[in-house]
Copies of this chain bind each other. A is one copy, B any other.
Amino acid sequence: MKRLLALSLVASSAFGVQAQQKTLMGFTPANSAKQLQTEQQFDQSINPARIGETLKELAAVPHHIGSAGGKAVADKILARLKSYGFDAKLQPYKVLFPTPKTRLLEMTGPTKYTAILKEKAVPGDEYSGQAGQLPTYNAWSADGDVTGQLVFVNYGLPEDYETLADMGIDVKGKIVIAKYGKSWRGIKPKVAYEHGAIGCIIYSDPKDDGYVAGDVYPKGAYKNETGVQRGSVMDMVLYPGDPLTPGVGSTEKAVRLDRKDATTILKIPVLPISYQDAKPLLEALEGPVAPAEWRGGLPITYHIGPGTATVHLKLEFNWDLVTAYNVIGVLKGSTYPDQWVLRGNHHDGWVNGADDPLSGQTALLDEAKAIGDLLKTGWKPKRTIVYCAWDGEEPGLLGSTEYAEDHEKELQQKGVVYINTDDSSRGFLSAGGSHALENFMGEIAESVIDPETNVTVAERKKANDLVNASSVKAKKEVMDRKLDKLSALGSGSDFSSFLQHLGVPALNLGYGGEAGGGDYHSINDSYAHYVRFKDPGFIYGALLAKTTGHIVLRMANADVLPFDFRSLYTTLNGYSKELIDLTSNLRETTAMQNQLVKSNAFKLAADPTKKLATPTAKPEVPAIDFTALTNALDALKVSADNLAIKLSTATESKIDKKALNEIIYKAEQQLLSSIGLPRRPWYKHSIYAPGFYTGYGVKTMPGIREAIEERNWTEANEQIKAVSATVNALAAYLSQAAK
């Protein structure tokens, strides 16, 4: 029967169903054929128009965590999941969530200006003037009432303060104004505080997502003069989730920290403003003209200050506990009920959140609906499928983190994979995650067709990479690649706890790149904006549902889970090479810099009228021994190769597949370190973490990499040992599995 089916599928390829010839990773040929049929059925259930309707319904009113609109969205998702056949329930947590009580920003000198701090309703966008919108603010700002001289600090990154130091400017006791962009916003007040600032203003420069980028809303998609990006400034790189319950689920009865002891809450007041409000402040600055690369798109000469420009910033918040309503829908596996394929996306928005998060959430719901349709045909998942809609992602991954912490043991035991989406729009597939899933993700990208070009999304992505590669050499590399690299995951969405705290393999994906805009976290992230600029017709929403659906369905029904640790080895080996190069480049540049200092070149080159400080010599970079790491990687290569040989015949062998699969999906946990990363033990994964000074941006092998970047050589050596230990543990584990 199986054989016959396979033959008939090969025959049908002559009529264009070519993909069906293929044996899928982790499936027997016969099960591959069945699986592809299931996916075809699944795809037929996905409905772009329905996705649009769901988006319109869920984005109808503001629905941040703690709001009536938010609870209503959770209830609607719950009802849908139930109606699709999922065993669904609300899973609430009690979390801290600050909302503004007082917001005052005024320039007190040399002239007076009081900031408006209010986004303007937009003609033609019925959502933009609704009641229930959160005011413009940064969650987790400190309460504060400060007055000080203003200093412009570019994007507010550590290197910007080095530039300021070169100019002899410090921000101690002053209030800084930083541009949104380049780093996660929470880094800006944190670094400002580290440098002694007493307050921080963040504004959206028109060069970044305003009129310089494109026509502003409502004419175009970009930020108009009153648009403001809300957002969390929690120091999430220490730990995400409720600041009062690190490491444990914030249930009603959970033991809570005193708020003053919560290290992720900012120590200074922080406020986001529009470029309309920023202009008078920046215009009043004196002091040196900002370096060319600091200047934005306002029609002024950007100065740095400090001078007579003084501002008064007063912020007070309601520090309330609110309920985060996660929605969890379970579809029990027929064969392996204790192996869970988790699929999630948050449902809370800062305001109406049409793009962020509902573009991903509505794709998720259409997947669930299509899976429900499959159930009606008698299809059953072998593994348990868990659909999750998280609340409180925006303030700091609250819902997903508390859930993950609350279910730590169970998730580490049962979690096969966590598949995340968030905002998504027209364009190209972008995917990140656990690198043992790289080949699998490549196969997925070949299983879905881009609706604009009618080629696979893998092929379209490759074409785009080819066109954009900057040199002939880079183009050749793209041309020669077998499949796209998975990017590594930092932070910024709900995969974080699963991957970085628990070691559950994770994927995060979305489409984008053809739909810019300035609506992010503003009242303009509305259905009206989305349908005009992000994904008219919701065809990429449908594509996302198909893409993610294929992942869920294959993971749920694979005979042998489609992990390939050879890709993981290759990736880790690449990181190791990067770190070795980083160290030797740093050694070379330090030596050169010191030579220039010694030869007086900086002083001679400087314009004496500018009275800039000139660089001083830095300690030379010592020899760093990476042998332990390269040895561990050599061992990993051998065991990954051996396991791959075993897995290549495993689907049709008689071995205990339940046990084998459990070994495979738990392998990622070998990369966890029991003590976690330096100064942030919540982050256990030794390979992936959000950067201490980048926020969302990932640092791979973060312990080693950040030690090198900070020139902390003792720690670099320690961390080489620590990472080598987890890689060795994984190598031994896989070697055992390969037997």
Q: Which residues of A contact B (CB under 8 A)?
A: 206, 211-212, 214-216, 220, 222, 289, 295, 297-301, 426-427, 452-453, 455, 459-460, 462-464, 466-468, 472, 475-476, 479, 514, 585, 588-589, 592, 595-596, 599-605, 607-609
Contact = CB atoms under 8 A, between A and B. Distances in A.
Contacts of A460: 604-605
Contacts of A463: 599-605
Given A452-B608, A605-B466, A608-B452, A301 B472 contact: no
Contacts of A222: 301
Contacts of A605: 460, 463-464, 466-468
B467 A601 contact: yes
A214 B604 contact: no
B596 A466 contact: yes
Given A215-B289, A475-B592, A466 B301 contact: no
Contact of A604 (B464, B475, B514): B464
23 contacts: A206-B299, A211-B299, A211-B300, A211-B301, A212-B295, A215-B301, A220-B289, A452-B608, A459-B604, A460-B605, A463-B599, A463-B601, A463-B602, A463-B604, A466-B596, A466-B599, A466-B601, A467-B596, A467-B602, A472-B585, A472-B589, A475-B592, A476-B592
Contacts of A459: 604
A607 B301 contact: no
A220 B301 contact: yes
Nearest to A300: B211
A584 to B, nearest CB: 11
B588 A472 contact: yes
A739 B691 CA distance: 70
A487 B465 CA distance: 38
How many identical chains are in the complex?
2
A490 B226 CA distance: 49
Nearest to A427: B607
Contact of A455 (B426, B592, B604, B609): B604
A292 to B, nearest CB: 8
A223 to B, nearest CB: 12
B299 A607 contact: no
Contacts of A476: 592
A220 B301 CA distance: 10
Nearest to A591: B472
Given A206-B299, A215-B301, A453 B608 contact: yes
Contacts of A297: 297, 299
Nearest to A299: B299
Contact of A301 (B214, B475, B479): B214
A212 B296 CA distance: 8
Contact of A472 (B427, B592, B603): B592
Contacts of A601: 462-464, 466-467
Contacts of A216: 301
Nearest to A303: B215
A604 B462 CA distance: 9
B212 A301 contact: yes
Contacts of A211: 299-301
A464 B475 CA distance: 35
Specify which of A466, A468, A585 lies most central, judged by the most chain B CB atoms within 10 Å of its CB: A466
Specify which of A222, A455, A468, A596 lies most central, judged by the most chain B CB atoms within 10 Å of its CB: A596
Nearest to A604: B463
A175 to B, nearest CB: 23
Contacts of A464: 601, 604-605
Contacts of A604: 453, 455, 459-460, 463-464
A595 B476 CA distance: 11
B289 A214 contact: yes
A426 B593 CA distance: 26
Specify which of A299, A452, A476, A585 lies most central, judged by the most chain B CB atoms within 10 Å of its CB: A299
Contacts of A589: 472
A120 B226 CA distance: 33
A455 B212 CA distance: 44
A301 B462 CA distance: 31
Nearest to A589: B472
Contacts of A592: 472, 475-476
A193 B164 CA distance: 47
A297 B292 CA distance: 12
Contacts of A600: 463
A598 to B, nearest CB: 12
A256 to B, nearest CB: 48
A453 B600 CA distance: 11
A459 B426 CA distance: 55
A101 B325 CA distance: 76
A604 B599 CA distance: 53
A479 B601 CA distance: 11
Contacts of A608: 452-453
A459 B109 CA distance: 46
Closest 3 pairs (CB-CB, A-B) = A463-B604, A463-B601, A464-B605
Contacts of A295: 212
A59 to B, nearest CB: 23
A643 B88 CA distance: 93
Contacts of A467: 596, 601-602, 605
Nearest to A468: B605
A628 to B, nearest CB: 28
A579 to B, nearest CB: 18
A4 B297 CA distance: 69
A589 B473 CA distance: 10
A596 B214 contact: no
A289 B297 CA distance: 16
A215 to B, nearest CB: 5
Nearest to A460: B604
Contacts of A301: 211-212, 214-216, 220, 222
A21 to B, nearest CB: 23
A427 B605 CA distance: 9
A603 to B, nearest CB: 7
Contacts of A607: 426-427, 452, 514
A605 B222 CA distance: 23
Contacts of A300: 211
Nearest to A466: B601
A480 to B, nearest CB: 12
Nearest to A600: B463
